């Protein structure tokens, strides 16, 4: 099944799932879709059915047309807030899937790369530990992910969920370039890439907010990369997603840097009203992080964090002095940051505000236009993970690191294992071409230096 067909099938199923029939349609699996034939057959059947219906009574016609109308409860975001009561079918992974590898292990879930044998489709299975969550919470996450899937910057979930002995599982598309955390260099991404990411993410979050949903866990790890130039990124992990206005508790197991100040102040188990302004805050932190490769502060705590304190004085206009770590940014971007990272939640801008700043220059100082965003993309294998200079090592295995190092060195014309003599010769050649008054003594100093190092070892 091609991806377009999958999308179409999703849309058609979604249309039929509108209203009362949503329960049964959500319970379909790959097997069911197969039984019914390909997505195109399904679409054909449904359209011929509607042609037949066209001759039916006016009330039927109205009912059909109403599919395309906004639901009455659009204020709430429509059917999205009706969590279906799905009976999860039991099965083993091996019944339908070949598990290729574990892509990641989150706090609650294992992310598996698998091939769905009957359709020969590469999918990601999010397997949530059954002992760490309950079926209701799992279904809620799946439901939100599935219902939001038709936004181009939200991870597409397939209409497939089931349970195994240890896990609740649902299937989603595979992001071949991992998440933003693994792609971020020590100096962040290039301004152009940051703008691309910001535009797409703000659109995804804006879409959620238009449905009265709050993501509540925006962080680098929850932004998946589908294109090496960041022209396609997608938001994932809807495990904490909540309807706006509902009483909630603090999100546990999250990166404290990303927590908004009003939530940080909450005491354990205290409940508060869920607002979109917490996503807005997290978006501001994420924007800073991708631009610089580091977070603006460790925690939004006046007492404990000097960086936070300095920014807040600036934000609240107690000083005109731009905080040291923001000096690289243009006045326009600072204006934008102020709107996202306002202390008072209700004064924060809409999450899509950043789109007004796309034509502005963001970075004045060269520090962020680092090589960290430079790609060395293996052309021969589109599925391979792209290699970034200064990429964070955290999630890579020893072998992957060695491979990356090898590719990096060879991109500079150096063979690995490093030939010290050849490297020395190249440095000396280079120095001599740089400076006509090249002092041969430098060479002898260099040799002494290497010999000393070897003796010390």
Ligand X SMILES: Nc1ncnc2c1ncn2[C@@H]1O[C@H](COP(=O)(O)OP(=O)(O)OP(=O)(O)O)[C@@H](O)[C@H]1O
Residues 149-188 that bind ligand X (CB under 6 A): 155, 172, 174-175, 178-179
- 111 contacts ligand X (rule: CB under 6 A): yes
Does residue 103 belong to the site contacting ligand X (CB under 6 A)?
yes
Which of 104, 375, 431, 450: binder of ligand X (CB under 6 A)?
Answer: 104
Min CB(243)–ligand X separation in Å: 19
> Shortest Cβ contact with ligand X: which residue?
106
Among 166, 167, 121, 120, CA closest to 142: 167
191, 221, 279, 315: residue in contact with ligand X (rule CB under 6 A): 221
Distance CA 180, CA 196 (A): 13
Q: Looking at the DSSP assignment, which residues form a beta bridge with residue 273?
A: 247
In whole angstroms, the minimum distance from the beta carbon of 230 to ligand X comes to 15
163 vs 338 by CB, closer to ligand X:
163
217 is catalytic: yes
- CB-neighbour burial class of residue 335 (10 A; exposed 0-12, middle 13-18, buried 19+): middle
Residue selected from 42, 83, 124, 312 as contacting ligand X according to rule CB under 6 A: 124
- Among 86, 224, 233, 333, the residue binding ligand X under the rule CB under 6 A is 224
Q: How far apart are CA 89 and CA 436, in angstroms?
A: 76
Range list of H helices, 323-437: 331-340, 398-411, 420-434
Number of residues that bind ligand X (CB under 6 A): 21
Closest CA to 172 of 253, 106, 234: 234
* Strand pairing class (121-129; 109-116): antiparallel
Residue 228 interacting with ligand X (CB under 6 A): no
Which is closer to ligand X, CB of 154 or CB of 354? Answer: 154
Question: Does 237 participate in binding ligand X (rule CB under 6 A)?
Answer: yes
Dihedral of CA atoms 236, 237, 242, 243 in degrees, nearest 10, equals: 20
Instruction: By CB under 6 A, tell whether 108 contacts ligand X.
Output: yes
Rounded CA separation 129/133 (Å): 7
Residue 386 near ligand X by CB under 6 A: no
Length of the chain measured in residues: 457
For ligand X, the binding residue among 236, 312, 349, 386 (CB under 6 A) is 236
Orientation angle between helical segments 441-456 and 420-434, nearest 10 degrees: 150
107 belongs to the binding site for ligand X (CB under 6 A): yes
Residues that bind ligand X (CB under 6 A): 103-104, 106-109, 111, 124, 126, 155, 172, 174-175, 178-179, 221-222, 224, 236-237, 239
Q: Which residues are catalytic?
A: 217
């Amino acid at each position: 099944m091609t991806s377009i067909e999958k999308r179409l099938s999703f849309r058609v199923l979604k249309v039929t799932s509108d209203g009362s029939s949503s329960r049964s349609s959500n319970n379909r699996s790959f097997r069911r879709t197969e039984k019914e034939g390909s997505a195109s057959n399904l679409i054909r059947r449904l359209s011929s059915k509607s042609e037949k219906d066209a001759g039916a009574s006016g009330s039927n016609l109205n009912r059909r047309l109403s599919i395309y109308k906004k639901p009455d409860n659009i204020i709430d975001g429509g059917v999205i807030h009706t969590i279906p009561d799905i009976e999860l079918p039991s099965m083993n992974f091996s019944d339908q899937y070949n598990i290729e590898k574990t892509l990641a292990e989150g706090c609650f879930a294992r992310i598996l790369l698998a091939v769905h044998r009957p359709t020969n489709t590469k999918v990601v299975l999010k397997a949530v530990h059954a002992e760490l969550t309950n079926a209701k919470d799992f279904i809620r996450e799946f439901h939100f992910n599935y219902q939001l899937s038709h936004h181009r910057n939200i991870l597409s979930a397939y209409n497939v969920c089931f349970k195994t002995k240890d896990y609740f599982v649902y299937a989603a598309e595979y992001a071949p370039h991992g998440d933003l955390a693994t792609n971020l260099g020590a100096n962040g991404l290039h301004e152009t890439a940051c703008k691309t990411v910001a535009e797409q993410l703000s659109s995804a979050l804006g879409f959620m907010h238009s449905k009265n949903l709050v993501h509540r866990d925006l962080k680098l790890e929850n932004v998946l990369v589908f294109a090496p130039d960041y022209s396609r990124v997608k938001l994932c992990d809807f495990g904490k997603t909540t309807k706006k206005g509902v009483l909630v508790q603090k999100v546990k197991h999250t990166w404290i840097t990303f927590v908004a100040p009003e939530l940080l102040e909450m005491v354990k188990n205290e409940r508060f009203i869920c607002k979109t302004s917490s996503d807005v805050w997290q978006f501001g932190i994420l924007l800073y992080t991708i631009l610089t490769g580091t977070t603006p502060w460790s925690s939004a705590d006046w007492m404990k964090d000097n960086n936070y304190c300095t920014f807040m004085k600036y934000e609240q206009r107690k000083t005109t002095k731009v905080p040291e770590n923001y000096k690289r940014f243009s006045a326009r971007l600072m204006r934008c940051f102020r709107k996202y990272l306002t202390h008072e939640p209700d004064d924060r801008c809409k999450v899509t505000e950043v789109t007004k700043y796309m034509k502005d220059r963001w970075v004045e100082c060269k520090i962020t236009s680092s090589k960290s965003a430079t790609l060395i993309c293996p052309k021969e294998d589109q599925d391979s993970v792209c290699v970034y200079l200064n990429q964070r090592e955290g999630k890579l295995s020893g072998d992957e690191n060695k491979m990356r190092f090898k590719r990096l060195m060879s991109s500079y014309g150096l063979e690995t294992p490093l030939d010290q003599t050849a490297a020395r010769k190249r440095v000396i050649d280079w120095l001599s071409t740089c400076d006509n008054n090249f002092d041969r003594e430098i060479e002898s100093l260099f040799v002494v230096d290497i010999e000393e190092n070897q003796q010390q070892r």
